Amino acid sequence: MSKELIRLRDVCMAFDDELVLDHLNLYFNDKEFLTLLGPSGCGKTTTLRIIGGFVTPTSGDVLFDGVRINDVPPYQRQINTVFQKYALFPHLNVYENIAFGLRMQRRPDPNDPTGKRKVKIPEEEIDQRVMEMLEVISLKGFEHRKPDALSGGQQQRVAIARALVNKPKVLLLDEPLAALDLKLRKDMQIELKRIQQQVGITFIYVTHDQEEALTMSDTIVVMDKGTIQQIGTPEDIYNEPKNAFVADFIGESNIIDGVMLQDNLVQMYGKKFPCLDGGFAENEPVDVVIRPEDIDIVPVEQGQLTGVVTSVTFKGMQYDIIVDFKGFKWLIQTTDHCPEGSRIGIKIDPDGIHVMKKSQYSGMFGDYSSFSEEYDELDDASLELDEEESGDEE
Amino acid sequence: MKKNNSFLNRLFMVLVFVFLYAPIFLLIIFSFNAGNSNMVWKGFSLAWYAKLFRNRLIMQSVYTTLLVSLLATVIATFAGTFAAIGFYAMRRKVREPLMTVNNIPMMNADIVTGVSMCLLFVAFFNGWGSFAAWFNSLGLFRLPTRLTMGFGTLLIAHITFNIPYVILSVGPKLRQMDKNLVDAAMDLGCTWMQAFWKVILPEIKPGIVSGALTAFTMSIDDFVISYFTAGSSASTLAMTIYGMTKKKVTPEINAISTLLFVTVLILLAIVNIREARQERKRAAELRRS
């Protein structure tokens, strides 16, 4: 299963003196679903374009199956791409879009003993493979439609078919679901995962949507400012974030300054909390992550900490409440209704506490004083897709 | 009061159209006059048109005009399309000042363009004389020592003033194109050149055709720049008409002017209808997405 297929070795990328990728080291295993996750401008799309061959890294090596492919043009790589907004050829119908790659292919003539003569793929084979693909994406009967006569979801599936019909070893996907509405996006997440398992090749997926990444990936690579913040399975990334950036980017987190008194005991707000982390120096300052769903609300007298509820938002499945603990605002998700202004106590189980070493991101995230704005930003996330690398646009 | 106002409005509009089109209508009407006056109507006749087609000077200049327009259009369309692609690939900081430079020839007074090109050709031919003399002294093969303005310079001038129109009509098509299309084509096995033929060209074809039509129209009806760059050996239709007006004005001029007017009118109509249709198509696409 885990045979290494692609490796990026010390890859740097600079546009106009601006370092977009900073000494990236990363490998991709065969047949895995790997997601590059990060905010706009973190370098994830650039990484994908380097693998696809659309840009050449400023320094470092790109290895495919152990061979350096820095200078191999995209049309000679066994890699195909599903682009943002699909990039279907508008003047060709669905059939011709999918057949495009096959029509470009030349392979050794089976009737030529020297094996030097190249021939086109015969029309019958093209037809058979295109039809097969149409079946996979369940768009049979649409072959004569032009792309602009398809819905977003259908265009999306044609784009996937157009790439997969070439039987690549790796499929690159650049925020392919970003233009779809929420419901369709959820369906397509499952669909994509199914297709990946069915064709059994490596998918490298780029997104800024943490939920998408958690749902589909075998491995998640969290990136920021051109460097890798953490690599791991979705469970690792969510449960054991390495620093405040990862903790904040994946899901909601309260990040509190603490001191690690000893193994399994951390101090916050001058109080001791048992936890399950260890391996820190004695009295080392740390960041403590507490997920909003891991906090139990208890009567004031039983609470490890007490605070005042400053806002309550109904979210359907739960209430999001903001609680002020000595000036630091926490987000707590609870099914109990606590009225605004009331005083509550909280209790945190040892496995609800995750302790991280201090990093450059300490103190930047995890306070919910500006909670509503943060939620707005989350909603806007899908709008700011194009920011990356489009400084040159109208 | 309101009614009065709208009457004045209408009167004003009618006056505008009368001033704009009455001269042309008069010209067209008298091109069909049986007599040789531009004031007295003597009955309908096609005599002036018949005479026109027997006039060797006019037919020669029609031929020159068509040839120079066609050649200039083909060359300018080719050069302008690739120039537009070059502009498209540039960063904005470089592109915008260059686009401004590109637009200057269109804004510039024709007479300035004409005179400056004339001066350039004269200066070049002067220098050429001494270069050719030196080259011929080497004894490899002989170069003509004296070059004069004629069809060649006329063609160069037409290509020059046509290119900006092509760039201006191809550029927007490129920018409307999904910028990932070329990458997608290369991803699927195309070299850059194959991607150009298979993907870019079909996408920008409407812009190229519009640009070519505009360029052709500009070439057909250009007078001032041609006048300064054609020398004495070549004459376009517009120049011939101008020459004829210096002698007695006969309805033959009306006839040839009418034909020129109708040709340009048809070309412009085609350009505009095409653009309107594309605009509608684009709007429909935007609405759908």
Dump pLDDT digits (tens) for B110-120: 899 999 999 99
pLDDT of residue A374: 47
Of B34 and A371, the structure prediction assigns the larger pLDDT to B34
Q: What are the start-end ranges of the E strands in A192-339?
A: 202-207, 219-224, 227-232, 254-262, 265-268, 271-274, 284-290, 295-298, 305-314, 319-325, 328-334
B288 with A54: Cβ contact below 8 A: no
pLDDT of residue A386: 41
Dump pLDDT digits (tens) for A146-172: 988 888 888 888 999 999 898 888 999
pLDDT of residue B72: 96
Please give the Cα distance from A82 to B286 (Å, whole number): 22
| Global ipTM | 0.75
- CATH class of the domain at B32-288: mainly alpha
Check pLDDT > 90 for residue B260. no
How far does A41 lie from chain B, in Å, by closest CA? 18
Integer angstrom CA distances of residue A31 from A149, A157, B99, B231: 34, 20, 48, 73
> Which residue of chain A comes nearest to B288, CA vs CA?
A148
Chain B residues touching residue A87 (CB < 8 angstroms): 178, 180-181, 183-184
Residue A304's Cβ-count burial label (10 Å; 0-12, 13-18, 19+) is middle
Residues within 8 A of B (CB atoms), A 145-174 only: 148, 152, 162-163, 166
Q: What percent of chain A has pLDDT over 90?
A: 15
> Which residue of chain A comes nearest to B199, CA vs CA?
A89
In a mutational test of the A interface, the residue from B188, B190, B289 whose CB has the highest number of chain A CBs within 10 Å is B188
CB-nearest partner of A89 from B91, B183, B199: B199
How far does A217 lie from chain B, in Å, by closest CA? 24
Token pair 């045979």 is at which residue? A3
In a mutational test of the B interface, the residue from A15, A16, A46, A75 whose CB has the highest number of chain B CBs within 10 Å is A75
**Strand pairing class (A79-82; A170-174):** parallel
With an 8 Å Cβ cutoff, is A80 touching chain B? yes
CB-nearest partner of B178 from A80, A85, A91: A85
Check pLDDT > 80 for residue A327. no
Distance of CA B148 to the CA centre of its chain: 24
Dump pLDDT digits (tens) for B22-51: 888 888 888 888 887 777 888 888 888 888
B187 with A89: Cβ contact below 8 A: no
Q: Report residue A303 as tokens.
A: 């609470």
**Segments making up each domain of chain B, as ranges:** 32-288
| Amino acid at site A188 | M
CATH of A4-236, one of 3.40.50.300, 3.40.50.720, 3.30.360.10, 3.30.310.10: 3.40.50.300
Please, which pLDDT band fits residue A221 given cuts at 50, 70 and 90? very high
A74 with B194: Cβ contact below 8 A: no
Per the CB < 8 A criterion, the answer to whether A193 and A216 are in contact is yes
CA atoms lying within 13 Å on the CB side of residue A124: 0
pLDDT of residue B143: 80
Helix (H) or strand (E) holding A85, with range, is: none
Dump pLDDT digits (tens) for A302-324: 888 888 888 888 888 888 888 88
Q: For residues B271-287, give the mean pLDDT.
A: 80
> Which residue of chain A comes nearest to B91, CA vs CA?
A392
**Strand pairing class (A219-224; A33-37):** parallel
Superfamily designation of domain A259-384? Nucleic acid-binding proteins (2.40.50.140)
Residues within 8 A of B (CB atoms), A 324-363 only: none
Please, which pLDDT band fits residue A370 given cuts at 50, 70 and 90? low
Q: Tell me the β-bridge partners of A205.
A: A35, A173
pLDDT of residue A247: 87
pLDDT of residue B163: 94
A75 with B199: Cβ contact below 8 A: no
Please give the Cα distance from A163 to A113 (Å, whole number): 31
**Segments making up each domain of chain A, as ranges:** 4-236, 259-384
Check pLDDT > 50 for residue A392. no
Token pair 């991607």 is at which residue? B195
pLDDT of residue A393: 35
Dump pLDDT digits (tens) for A102-150: 998 888 777 777 777 788 888 889 999 999 888 888 888 888 989 888 8
Chain A residues touching residue B283 (CB < 8 angstroms): none
Count Cβ–Cβ pairs < 8 Å, chain A vs chain B: 64
Per the CB < 8 A criterion, the answer to whether B253 and B241 are in contact is yes
pLDDT of residue A369: 66
Check pLDDT > 70 for residue A48. yes
With an 8 Å Cβ cutoff, is A45 touching chain B? no
In this structure, the dihedral spanned by the alpha carbons of residues B5, B9, B10 and B16, taken in order and rounded to 10 degrees, is 160
With an 8 Å Cβ cutoff, is A101 touching chain B? yes
Please give the Cα distance from B97 to B106 (Å, whole number): 15
Chain A residues touching residue B198 (CB < 8 angstroms): 89, 100
- Roughly how many angstroms between the first and final C-alpha of chain B, as a whole number? 48
Q: Report residue A233 as tokens.
A: 């399975």
Please, which pLDDT band fits residue A390 given cuts at 50, 70 and 90? very low
Q: For residues A207-236, give the mean pLDDT.
A: 90
Dump pLDDT digits (tens) for A277-302: 878 888 888 888 888 888 888 888 88
Q: What percent of chain A has pLDDT over 70?
A: 93
